[in-house]
Structures are given as structure tokens and as C-alpha cells.
Amino acid sequence: MVKKNKSILKEFVEISKYFGQRFDLNQAAGGNSSIKIGNQMYIKSSGYSLSEVSSENGYAILNNDELISFLDKIRNKKVTKSIDRKSSTALKESVLYGSGPSIETYTHTLLKKFTIHIHPIAINMVSVDKKSEEIFNKIVAKRKKDEGIFHIGYYQPGIVLANEINKVISKEQKAFREYKTVIFFLENHGLICSASSKSELIDTVERFVSKFEDYLKMDLNRYKMTTKISEILWNCSYKNLTCYYSEDSYIQNNISLKNSKSFKKPLSPDQFLYCGEAPLIVSRSLKGEIVNHIKKYKTFPRVIILKKDIYFVAANVLKAREKEDVFKAQLYFNSKSNPNRPLSKNEVKKLTSYNLFKNRLRFWFDYTK
């Protein structure tokens, strides 16, 4: 059995969570992430969202040398059905650990150590435009010397797209080696960014995507706040939690901070287990109030309210949406005129120690030790 590199795995999970929680950068189970070390590549498995990746699930470890060898054999060739079948076979045979590596694994093979493929809203608003290349060239007219930026027309995801990227790299071999970061703008598809370090990868993506947001005059800060919240929690030892911004119209229209007492206490076991003992209503310092909430309740806030913006914190985006459902139900319960009976402190205390019930959340024990 292949030995996992704990340091690489830690960084792999971090970049996957970072990009996977942001709706402005990626949606649903799209996109993929990878890190290389030696001849191995850690890459997200198909069927998992980026935010679901953990040290135990959602990735495969591959022999990258075998994939490089396959790409070398088909370079400058047209991808036929036969080559497509052979690429699938070679991909399966390269697996050292896990299963179902992303169908776009080959697009990562020849790139730098850290690679992310995502579908940013602002990028794709341009990529689907009939004049996408013209707009792209206008936006990236000023480029850093140590940064390679390439426009790629639309190609079928998988080996076909990878082969086109391979051709670009072959033409720019010397320059490619000297670039600190490389960016591929994919028509009707998204963005691939690759860098030598995690920080360079994140900084490059944020900076590059912001150029397109500025061009389109878009304000997506409400989504970017999820990063700020999760990073505060990570620094408070709640590693790899993700934060999700809720756009549910019922929740947004029925949150009234003037009447916050109505939803500050849980009305049912599910509301306590999914949404915590109380939501965090931020009035001043986000970081300071998150830290104070953790000290008071001995756990992280599941629901964070910033004015009219609502955020849910969980192990991944899918789990955060479950919390959104439960919180929404609580608002319905509070919509009637008659007063409700919240759970008492003693009832909440009993639920805290009821392991069988808590186990429904599956990730509870990871964050309440």
C-alpha cells in the first residue's frame, strides 16, 4: 500500500476546501485540485465536490510518470476514440491509492506542483461570450513577466483538452519552466491555475479573477467573506471547516435582528445539533466575536449572521446546506404569533452528551474534542 505524505495531504485538503467553499469560484462538484511530489500526484476523485475532500476521502494518488509517458506518445496526434479508450486505461493503471481520479487528471499532469481547475463566475461570464478572446486580451493586456497566461479555445474535457494544453507547453518549454505561475483561460469552461507553492496559487487565482470582476463591475464580496470566516476558524484549531453563504430568500427576508431572541434558542434536537446552541450575530469584530463564541460555547458557531448576510459553517458545503434547511425551519416555527417553548438548558445539556443522536452528523466528534 502506498505511503501517504501527511504534509502534502494537509496542503491538498486546504486548497480543495479553500476553493470549494466559494460559490464565486466554483459550483457543485465541478473543478478539481492536485499536488505533485516526486513521481506521485494527489488529485480529487470524480463525484466529490472540492469542499468534501478530506484526509480520508475524495482523492486518489497516481503515478504521474506513467501519465506523462502517455501524453508524450500522443503529442501532436488527433485524439481518436482509440486514444480516448487507451487514456482511460492508462489512467486506471496509474492509480496507487483510491479510485475514480478526475476525468481531467491529464490536464494537471505536466503542470507545476500545485494546480486548481475551477469555474469562477466572472471568468465564465467572459468565457461564454462570443467575443471572449477579444475581451480576455483586453483584461490581461498587462501581465507579470514571471506569469504565463494562455487562452485556450473550447475542447472536450479530458484527454482532448489535456492534449491541447500539452501542445501549448511544448511550444513554450523554456518559458514555461521559468514562470512562477501559469494560467489557462478555457473558453466555455473555466480556469486552470498552477504554481510552485500554495500561497502563490491562491494569490494568483484571487488576483486574476478580480481583474474579470472589475471589468464586469461585479461585487462578489459576500462570497469572499466565507474565506475570511473559515480562515479565522482554522486559526482557532477548527481545521478544514468550510463556510457557505446562504442565498435562500425566505431566510434573508425573515431574519430580523430586532427580534433575534426568537431564533437565539433551539426549539428542537435537530436545531441544536445542526445549528448549535445559538447563532453568532456579529455586531463589531468578526474575529473577536468568533473567538468569544468559541470560549462561551466550547465549540465553533454553526450559524453566523452579518447584518443581512447569513453564513453556515460545516465540514463541507453539502453539510452546510443541511444546516441551512434546519435553520430555515426554525424561522418558520417562529413565524406564528403564539410564543414558542425553546429547549431548556438541562435539555440541551442532555443532548450534548447523547452520542447516538450526535453521530447523525458524522463529523461532530472531529470538532468537539
The predicted pLDDT at position 361 comes to 54
The predicted pLDDT at position 12 comes to 97
Residues 202 and 251 in one domain: no
Question: Which residues, in sequence order, are bridge partners of residue 245?
Answer: 311
Distance between CA atoms of 34 and 46, rounded to whole angstroms? Answer: 13
Residues 202 and 232 in one domain: no
Residues 195 and 325 in one domain: no
Single-letter amino acid, residue 231: E
The predicted pLDDT at position 355 comes to 57
Domain boundary among 186, 201, 219: 219
Q: Per residue in 215-249, is it b (16+ CB within 10 Å) or e — as a string? A: ebeeebebbbbbbebbebbeebebbbbbbbbbeee
Residues 328 and 315 in one domain: yes
Residues spanned by the domain of 115: 6-219
Residues 105 and 31 in one domain: yes
| Helix residue spans in 259-301 (DSSP H) | 269-275, 286-297
294 half-sphere exposure, CB direction, 13 A CA radius: 17
Tell me whether residue 23 is exposed, middle or buried, using C-beta atoms within 10 angstroms of its C-beta: 0 to 12, 13 to 18, 19 or more.
middle
**pTM summary value:** 0.88
Domain boundary among 174, 199, 219: 219
Residues 183 and 319 in one domain: no
The predicted pLDDT at position 307 comes to 84
The CA-to-CA distance between both ends of the chain, in Å, stands at 30
pLDDT digit string (tens) for 41-78? Answer: 999 999 899 999 999 899 999 999 999 999 999 988 88
Planar angle of CA 367, 281, 273, nearest 5 degrees: 35
Residues 319 and 213 in one domain: no
The predicted pLDDT at position 128 comes to 96
Distance between CA atoms of 247 and 232, rounded to whole angstroms? Answer: 22
Residues 64 and 189 in one domain: yes
For the domain that residue 41 is a member of, what is the CATH number?
A: 3.40.225.10
Query: How far from the centroid of its chain's Cα atoms is residue 32's Cα?
Result: 9
Planar angle of CA 205, 210, 214, nearest 5 degrees: 160
Distance between CA atoms of 248 and 256, rounded to whole angstroms? Answer: 15
Distance between CA atoms of 325 and 273, rounded to whole angstroms? Answer: 13
The predicted pLDDT at position 296 comes to 94
Question: Which residues, in sequence order, are bridge partners of residue 115?
Answer: 34, 194
Give pLDDT < 70 ranges for the chain: 257-262, 354-369
161 half-sphere exposure, CB direction, 13 A CA radius: 25
Could you tell me if residue 74 is inside a domain? yes
Could you tell me if residue 344 is inside a domain? yes
Using CA of residue 17, residue 22, residue 24, residue 29, what is the dihedral sign? positive
Number of other CB atoms surrounding residue 205 within 10 Å: 24
| Helix residue spans in the chain (DSSP H) | 6-20, 64-74, 81-93, 106-109, 121-127, 132-139, 159-171, 173-178, 198-216, 221-235, 249-254, 269-275, 286-297, 317-333, 345-352, 355-358
Could you tell me if residue 121 is inside a domain? yes
Question: Is-contact 168 150, C-beta < 8 A?
Answer: yes
Could you tell me if residue 188 is inside a domain? yes
Could you tell me if residue 35 is inside a domain? yes
Structural domains counted in the chain: 2
Residues 210 and 230 in one domain: no
Domain boundary among 219, 248, 267: 219
Distance between CA atoms of 159 and 178, rounded to whole angstroms? Answer: 25
Residues 181 and 69 in one domain: yes
pLDDT digit string (tens) for 76-94? Answer: 888 999 999 999 999 999 9
Distance between CA atoms of 143 and 153, rounded to whole angstroms? Answer: 20
Residues 235 and 116 in one domain: no
Distance between CA atoms of 119 and 192, rounded to whole angstroms? Answer: 9
Using CA of residue 267, residue 273, residue 277, residue 282, what is the dihedral sign? negative
Residues 237 and 250 in one domain: yes
Could you tell me if residue 1 is inside a domain? no
Could you tell me if residue 130 is inside a domain? yes
